[in-house]
A and B are shown apart, each in its own frame.
Chain A
């Protein structure tokens, strides 16, 4: 931490009622609940036209010709652009040098590699006409189909068709590893075995799809985009189009979720301003759900081939894991290569397990490009780790809880360096597990009793102990940006504060928590704090909201800016009180000399002197009361060391989840009967918002555990989904009731001790439900090693475990 970046609230400030740590109600809830919040789809400008993108119906094909004539002839159509028209726009940047370049252009030129890939754009008076015209463009496009690659095995076959002719194979990343200790452990262990775990394709599925409205006037670009990272969108547009960056303004109005999918910079973000500039009218594109399913990034789709070495006493000696991620075509900025590295680094969860060897592979196939989604690789790894622990328990007869107890991180091991370099600063790993085990044991008994009379129903329990890396570096993901974020804080003449933040709000309550932070660090009420985010002209440069980073980076940058504001305000107040600055303190928003509450000077008096009655300032003082803080999280590394290790996260939250699941043998129906979470994200800024993050995270974890999967036809690589008829997400009827408890182990090196809490909930359910179903069906020999665990999958597992004829 730089010498002047504070870790705690300025000690000269005192309150009768501080706001950090309190369940302050979310100020951003009123407008969506009353239909008054404004999303991109609510905006329209005079003279605005609508755009529809023409998307590839082919999994892999050459574009032979596109005849735009029939579409252009349709009344109401203003223009049709194809990939070739955008020849003055550079391809998406290639910044990560150890991965293969995909050379992604904003619209596909000559070749399409996945169904959904945009290759032309139609501009028309309304979206209906635009869709009619888009159908005409599609009907008049001649494709020459190429052999398509539908999955990992096909992509890695020796004679596989290649997606990129100039690559040697279909590896986007090929990063093998070898560890001597692991090789040795395999030689020495009592037993070894091999297995495979699979986490299939999913996506973040925000309620609000993407959308872009672009308006270029006199060379000034204004872009409204539903993005988690408006500044990064702006920098990327400038780089690709050559438009000077200060002439680009990117605004993120209210967002209806992102979950990582909106961290990426999409073709539409670049094509839309290009079209507006070209035709001289504002243009809008609102993604529909079909487009969202085929062209917003997918995620997960990992396979783990593991070798396990263990001893008779239940000790797991070493694990070797070949982690494969099917990243689709890879045509997305930033590329989808980072999650599998996070999987590898975090696979050992909250366990003390150094003998881990992970080989990382990203493989391209003719599927939608994959990228970020809440959990960012961690859930896939925990499915593997908890699965292995349960397998070893089963093989050795040692109790599953006992093995976990032996392996779990202890407080006196902190800081603990994980096998991949992650440095866990602190946590309540063992304590959380003990608590979760105690809570779940009680409900297990109750639920067993409930089904005691039904021979068709089995009940089981599953556990997971994870660590949640928060506030990660963006350098390993983007090859470009790194880790800081910013705050610009101003106190206006009336004494109210306004803070501009480089992070964004996508629904997670950042406005409220930022107001709590500012309120406490200036001795104000949260109602006196206005928070501005998601506008590159009104908020300072920052990297946006992702990676559970906002809590740390907001706390850090707000505290820095606030301390700077305080230094100046104190001098002004001291001048007005005719006292020395060191003697002035702030109590409940009033400056006074320590020890005597009167006379006092209010924030309004100080700020009025700074902005208006500058005659009241100390002689020679610069007017104004606005300061910025640029906070780089301490302890965060951006590049691996020579051995490949890196502490890529500023802090590490932890949690233990456990769940009881009932399974009906005859039909495979399964139900999460109880779900318990013991969670630790350090200092809690707003416990209510944190509970919401955990609940929403668990809902998305349950989605992966039991429902969601993008399937592709193995022969044609065509998607077997087009709508929510095929891609099932859980609704409120399916998400279980859950119990949440917290420990608060402050992050020793982060501001206020906060850690971050956006993703932990998502990490647990896959491992927990898989463990619970395996436990419930243990006497049938069932081991669940893949998600989603649907009733059909359960029946299949029962059938395979009990061999042919194994019905009922």
Chain B
């Protein structure tokens, strides 16, 4: 399949990019192209204008500070994954990116592109929610920020309005006594998840005292697992974990059936993933996703 006709524009500033997006109702941001180009080749997406942000000044910033990591919109997944500084501040990023596609794709794909694309089975949206990340957005009306927890609305659907660009995402540093991890089941290495779990657990004293747990690949959107987050409090790995399993199973009540797995499978698998990862996090202080 071949894409339909489109125009291509490569602006140098965010202002220009936003202005260009405003000229057409179907214009789209082009970042790494690893999701957009396949969709265009299948003619599932037929934008009449691509605004390539690869040359926009300042969007290639990757900054690690005491507060956390700021990732500009044109920063590739590989760059983030290979930075030891990033891994020191937000260990979950390297762990999550290890599950994202393959090296060649990560060399082009961007972190912000994945967040904007909001594939329900993608790792990074779930991680962003678990970590409490913040999106920095620029649009015709200026700048705004949105918490990851409020950003993902449904399959390939976010809080972004037409003409808005994510200029960067901020991941806060992992607090002391917290472990952040991501684990998933996929039939093949590098695939999108069939069932995935991203979590940040406060485990300071060998007992879970706080949790943010997010499922992905299970339903139409990366979702907080409210039941499991409750059930896990006070869990110290002692019992068989069946309450935690049941809570996760219930959290996945809206699991989807598709060619790869049944909804029932996703529910069971999410339960199993939660139990085994929480156990491992308590045991090693880092979770299986490492």
> What is the 8 Å Cβ interface bit string for chain B, positions 1-25, against chain A (1 contact, 0 not)?
1111100000000000000000000
Q: Are B188 and A807 in contact (CB under 8 A)?
A: no
Q: Are B185 and A288 in contact (CB under 8 A)?
A: no
| Smallest CB gap from B44: residue in A | A722
> Which residue of B249, B260, B276 is within 8 Å of A790 (Cβ)?
B260
Please give, as numbers and ranges, the residues of chain B lying within 8 Å of A549 by CB-CB distance: none
> Which residue of B1, B5, B190, B271 is within 8 Å of A808 (Cβ)?
B271
Q: Are B187 and A132 in contact (CB under 8 A)?
A: no
> What is the 8 Å Cβ interface bit string for chain A, positions 792-808, against chain B (1 contact, 0 not)?
10011001000000011
| Smallest CB gap from B188: residue in A | A734
> Which residue of B42, B249, B265 is within 8 Å of A796 (Cβ)?
B265
Interchain CA distance A668-B276 in the complex, whole Å: 14
B108 to chain A, nearest CB (A): 18
Please give, as numbers and ranges, the residues of chain B lying within 8 Å of A709 by CB-CB distance: 259
B241 to chain A, nearest CB (A): 9
Please give, as numbers and ranges, the residues of chain A lying within 8 Å of B43 by CB-CB distance: 131, 135
Q: Are A791 and B269 in contact (CB under 8 A)?
A: yes
Q: Are B259 and A733 in contact (CB under 8 A)?
A: no
Q: Are B185 and A731 in contact (CB under 8 A)?
A: no
Interface size of A as a range: 20 to 34
B191 at the interface (CB under 8 A from A): yes
Q: Are A799 and B264 in contact (CB under 8 A)?
A: yes
Q: Are A792 and B245 in contact (CB under 8 A)?
A: no
> What is the 8 Å Cβ interface bit string for chain A, positions 352-391, against chain B (1 contact, 0 not)?
0000000000000000000000000000000000000000
Q: Are A707 and B268 in contact (CB under 8 A)?
A: no
Interchain CA distance A290-B38 in the complex, whole Å: 12
Please give, as numbers and ranges, the residues of chain B lying within 8 Å of A807 by CB-CB distance: 245, 249, 268, 271
Interchain CA distance A734-B272 in the complex, whole Å: 23
| Smallest CB gap from A727: residue in B | B259
A175 at the interface (CB under 8 A from B): no
Interchain CA distance A720-B259 in the complex, whole Å: 7
Please give, as numbers and ranges, the residues of chain B lying within 8 Å of A790 by CB-CB distance: 187, 260-261
Interchain CA distance A731-B187 in the complex, whole Å: 11
Q: How many residues on B have C-beta within 8 angstroms of the other chain's C-beta atoms?
A: 31
B290 at the interface (CB under 8 A from A): no
Q: Are B188 and A667 in contact (CB under 8 A)?
A: no
Q: Are A288 and B265 in contact (CB under 8 A)?
A: no
| Smallest CB gap from B262: residue in A | A792
Enumerate A123-163 residues with CB–CB distance to B below 8 Å: 127-128, 131-132, 135
Q: Are A667 and B187 in contact (CB under 8 A)?
A: no
Please give, as numbers and ranges, the residues of chain B lying within 8 Å of A730 by CB-CB distance: 188
Please give, as numbers and ranges, the residues of chain A lying within 8 Å of B253 by CB-CB distance: none
A164 at the interface (CB under 8 A from B): no
Q: Are A288 and B1 in contact (CB under 8 A)?
A: yes
B20 to chain A, nearest CB (A): 23
Please give, as numbers and ranges, the residues of chain B lying within 8 Å of A667 by CB-CB distance: 185, 268-269, 272-273
Interchain CA distance A308-B3 in the complex, whole Å: 55
A673 at the interface (CB under 8 A from B): no
- With A135-B43, A722-B42 in contact, do A792 and B265 touch (Cβ < 8 Å)? yes
Interchain CA distance A114-B259 in the complex, whole Å: 20
- Which of A131, A667, A707, A796 has the most chain B CB within a 10 Å cutoff? A667
Q: Are B1 and A721 in contact (CB under 8 A)?
A: no
Q: Are A669 and B185 in contact (CB under 8 A)?
A: yes
A134 to chain B, nearest CB (A): 10
> What is the 8 Å Cβ interface bit string for chain A, positions 275-307, against chain B (1 contact, 0 not)?
000000000000010100000000000000000
> Which residue of B42, B189, B268 is within 8 Å of A795 (Cβ)?
B268
A722 to chain B, nearest CB (A): 7
Q: Are B1 and A290 in contact (CB under 8 A)?
A: yes
Interchain CA distance A669-B265 in the complex, whole Å: 11
Q: Are B260 and A290 in contact (CB under 8 A)?
A: no
Interchain CA distance A331-B21 in the complex, whole Å: 48
A723 at the interface (CB under 8 A from B): yes
A594 at the interface (CB under 8 A from B): no
Interchain CA distance A79-B265 in the complex, whole Å: 51
Interchain CA distance A714-B74 in the complex, whole Å: 44
Q: Are B42 and A723 in contact (CB under 8 A)?
A: yes
Enumerate B238-290 residues with CB–CB distance to A below 8 Å: 242, 245, 249, 259-262, 264-265, 268-269, 271-273, 275-276
| Smallest CB gap from A731: residue in B | B188
A194 at the interface (CB under 8 A from B): no
Please give, as numbers and ranges, the residues of chain A lying within 8 Å of B3 by CB-CB distance: 128
A584 to chain B, nearest CB (A): 60
Interchain CA distance A790-B187 in the complex, whole Å: 7
Interchain CA distance A733-B269 in the complex, whole Å: 22
A67 at the interface (CB under 8 A from B): no
A666 at the interface (CB under 8 A from B): yes
B38 to chain A, nearest CB (A): 8
Q: Are B1 and A131 in contact (CB under 8 A)?
A: yes
Enumerate A724-742 residues with CB–CB distance to B below 8 Å: 726, 728, 730-731, 733-734
Please give, as numbers and ranges, the residues of chain A lying within 8 Å of B187 by CB-CB distance: 706-707, 728, 790-791
Q: Are A128 and B5 in contact (CB under 8 A)?
A: yes
A711 at the interface (CB under 8 A from B): yes
Interchain CA distance A485-B34 in the complex, whole Å: 47
A773 to chain B, nearest CB (A): 15
- With A131-B2, A135-B43, A667-B269 in contact, do A731 and B189 touch (Cβ < 8 Å)? yes
Q: Are A666 and B276 in contact (CB under 8 A)?
A: yes
| Smallest CB gap from A710: residue in B | B259
A89 to chain B, nearest CB (A): 28
Interchain CA distance A668-B270 in the complex, whole Å: 12
| Smallest CB gap from B263: residue in A | A792
Please give, as numbers and ranges, the residues of chain B lying within 8 Å of A722 by CB-CB distance: 42
Please give, as numbers and ranges, the residues of chain A lying within 8 Å of B276 by CB-CB distance: 456, 666
Please give, as numbers and ranges, the residues of chain A lying within 8 Å of B38 by CB-CB distance: 723
Q: Are A290 and B269 in contact (CB under 8 A)?
A: no
Interchain CA distance A622-B261 in the complex, whole Å: 71
B284 to chain A, nearest CB (A): 16
> Which residue of A132, A707, A796 is within 8 Å of B4 (Cβ)?
A132
- Which of B3, B272, B275, B276 has the most chain A CB within a 10 Å cutoff? B272
A390 to chain B, nearest CB (A): 25
A668 to chain B, nearest CB (A): 7
B114 to chain A, nearest CB (A): 16
Interchain CA distance A84-B264 in the complex, whole Å: 49
Please give, as numbers and ranges, the residues of chain A lying within 8 Å of B268 by CB-CB distance: 666-667, 795, 807-808
Please give, as numbers and ranges, the residues of chain A lying within 8 Å of B245 by CB-CB distance: 807-808
Q: Are A796 and B262 in contact (CB under 8 A)?
A: yes
| Smallest CB gap from A795: residue in B | B265
If A666-B268, A669-B185, A808-B271 are given as contacts, then 9 extra A-B residue pairs at C-beta distance below 8 Å, sorted by A number, are: A135-B43, A288-B2, A731-B190, A790-B261, A791-B265, A792-B194, A796-B264, A796-B265, A799-B264
Q: Name 29 interchain pairs, CB-CB below 8 A, sorted by A.
A: A131-B1, A131-B4, A132-B4, A288-B2, A456-B276, A666-B269, A667-B185, A667-B268, A667-B269, A668-B265, A707-B188, A720-B259, A723-B38, A726-B259, A728-B187, A728-B191, A731-B188, A733-B189, A733-B190, A790-B261, A791-B185, A791-B265, A792-B194, A792-B261, A796-B264, A796-B265, A808-B242, A808-B245, A808-B271
Residues of A that sit less than 8 Å from B by CB: 127-128, 131-132, 135, 288, 290, 456, 666-669, 706-707, 709, 711, 720-723, 726, 728, 730-731, 733-734, 790-792, 795-796, 799, 807-808
Q: Which 10 A-B pairs have the closest CB atoms?
A: A666-B272, A792-B261, A733-B189, A792-B265, A667-B272, A131-B2, A128-B2, A711-B259, A667-B269, A726-B259
